[in-house]
Amino acid sequence: MLFTNANLFLDGCFQRGAFRVENGRFAEILTDAAGDGIDLHGQYVIPGLVDIHSHGNSGADFSDGDYDGLVKMAKYLAANGVTSFAPASMTLPYDVLEAAYKTAAALKKAAPDGCARLMGINMEGPFFSEKKKGAQNASYLRLPDYAAFERLYNASEGLLRIADIAAELPGAVEFTEKASKLCTVSIAHTDCTYEEASAVFDAGASHLTHLYNAMPGIHHRKPGPIGAGSERKNVVAELISDGYHIHPSAVRMAFRLFPGRICLISDALRCCGMPDGQYMLGGQDVFLKGGVAKLADGTIAGSAANLYECMQRAVSFGIPAEQAILSATIIPAREIGQDAEIGSIAVGKLADFVVCDAALNRSAVYLGGQAL
């Protein structure tokens, strides 16, 4: 199938051209925009987005371990331009996590039509600091435990792509040395110092979970994990640009601190795509009002925005559209080791893409070259 007369997002910029899809993959990229095929009339074509940190939407949560709920989540994501995802779990008992990871593996194998591709799992918890637990349930916090991680990794059938850890916990360095051989290790929900973060980065961690949130802020005498991460060129930082978690100025600062290394995420909860009301997160009540999700004590929880909305909001905050697109596509794809399959428009990759206007407003979503 040939798609013509398009503004294609290739190598970080838009170029006029056409492309051919065969057997669900990009088969050819053409510089001549004309031809007999589906005329896109100069619309913009970007890769399908990749959300590597999303808990739920549409009333469902990944940690529920419910297959039908996970399908509902995946359909909502695809319909909103997020064609691949790595759902994030919460700080919960190991048996609950194991059940959720087995459900993810089942969805990966089934690959139902109309669903975003499940390309990994983000293990957010339970190896966190109580002081910076945020919306995580303190009842289930644990010290780093490689044997428990290995159990969950096996239950996921290798889908566990990111493991989060608070760098100051006893055993964090030893855990990271081992776990980083199997997946990306991320510093998260931490009260660590610059020195503690540096030790874990040196041990193999290469990722920061939701930058600024649930970690010490930057201080000129105490740069903390943000300072340690910013000066290491291999460290990628997640960012929730929903407009509530982080001030627009801090969003712009993040892109300067981590040039080419910002990974946009949604951190969406089951209330994403739902009306204001009361919901559940990791055994705790969450209240959604006016687009903001909070615990009963006022602690901001995850977001109620999907990744496509977060990307558009980043642009509205002054981030160049090209950089925002990269941060929502190829950068997250690399962080879960799936960039050979997804994250960019390139010959041989899965033909998952979004057709939109110059303001990134969607007109169509394609999975494997087929319109949803």
Tell me the two tokens of residue 141.
């916090």
| DSSP designation for 268 | B
Q: Could you give the 3-state DSSP secondary structure of residue 139?
A: helix
Please give the backbone phi and psi of residue 43, each rounded to the nearest 5 degrees, phi first. -70, 165
User: Could you count the other beta carbons within 10 Å of the beta carbon of residue 294?
Assistant: 16
Residues near 313 by Cβ (< 8 Å), separated by ≥ 6?
A: 241, 242, 243, 305
Q: Which residues pair with 265 in a beta bridge?
A: 240
CB 57: neighbour CB atoms within 10 A? 28
- Going from the C-alpha of 199 to that of each of 100, 228, 299, 312, the distances in angstroms are 31, 9, 29, 36
Active site residue 267: yes
Cα 126 from chain centre: 18
Q: Catalytic one among 61, 267, 339, 352?
A: 267
Order across the sheet with 277-281: list the strands. Answer: 277-281, 284-289, 292-295, 300-303
Dist. CA 183–CA 203, nearest whole Å: 13
Residue 38 makes CB contacts below 8 A (sequence gap 6+) with: 1, 2, 3, 4
Contact between 349 and 25 under an 8 Å Cβ cutoff? The reply is yes
3-state DSSP assignment of residue 342: coil
> What is the three-class DSSP state of 163?
strand
What letter represents residue 257's amino acid?
Answer: L
- Please list the active-site residues: 267
